Amino acid sequence: MFQFKKFPLLTDGELKLEIDDYLSGHRAMDRVPAYKFKIIRCRDLTWVGDIDVRIGNTRHLILYGGHIGYSVHESYQGHSYAAKACNIIKDVALAHGMTELWITCNPENTASRKTCEKLGAVFVNIVDVPAGTELFNRGDYRKCRYLWALTDAPRPG
């Protein structure tokens, strides 16, 4: 059975991640347990966005949903906060034995695509989201897929 871990301090000095929620069961995408964090700017403790990481692998996550979801509030965009938060949150994934993460975004989301490139994630392809899924129903019809290797460890298989 999955056990959430406690992380005392997740920061790079500029940003810190504060736990907002632990998602599991029907509250989690594809029922994969997830940590949801607020992204906080350290110098003035301003909440600048949110990030979550899903711990586990399902076909839906790998193809469409991705392991990481992030958003930066509009007035704080343009400072690479999403990429910086991803670099912080990777420690959570590593603590659960994950060595690579899939990140997906809509093809027209240039900012998210740039975030993936800043991380060194590799663009794999663009896929059509199946009709009837939660993503499709909210208007996400296609997804760019990026693979982000978290370590230099050889990939299994």
Biggest alpha carbon distance in the chain?
46
pTM for this predicted structure: 0.92
Residue 138: predicted pLDDT: 94
CATH number for the segment(s) 10-149? 3.40.630.30
Q: Which residue has the tokens 């069961």?
A: 25
The model's pLDDT over 129-146, given as tens digits with 9 standing for 90+, comes to 999 998 999 999 999 999
H or E element that contains 87: helix 81-95
Which sequence spans correspond to the domains of the chain?
Answer: 10-149
Residue 101: predicted pLDDT: 98
Residue 1: predicted pLDDT: 79
Along the 157 residues of the chain, how does pLDDT read in single tens digits?
A: 799 999 989 999 999 999 999 999 888 888 899 999 999 999 999 999 999 999 999 999 999 999 999 999 999 999 999 999 999 999 999 999 999 999 999 999 999 999 999 999 999 999 999 999 989 999 999 999 999 999 864 444 3
Of 154, 36, 57, whose CA–CA distance to 101 is shortest?
57
Distance between CA 136 and CA 148 in Å, rounded? Answer: 24
Residue 152: predicted pLDDT: 62
What Cα–Cα distance (Å) separates residue 41 from each residue in 7, 51, 53, 119, 126?
18, 13, 19, 19, 33
Residue 154: predicted pLDDT: 46
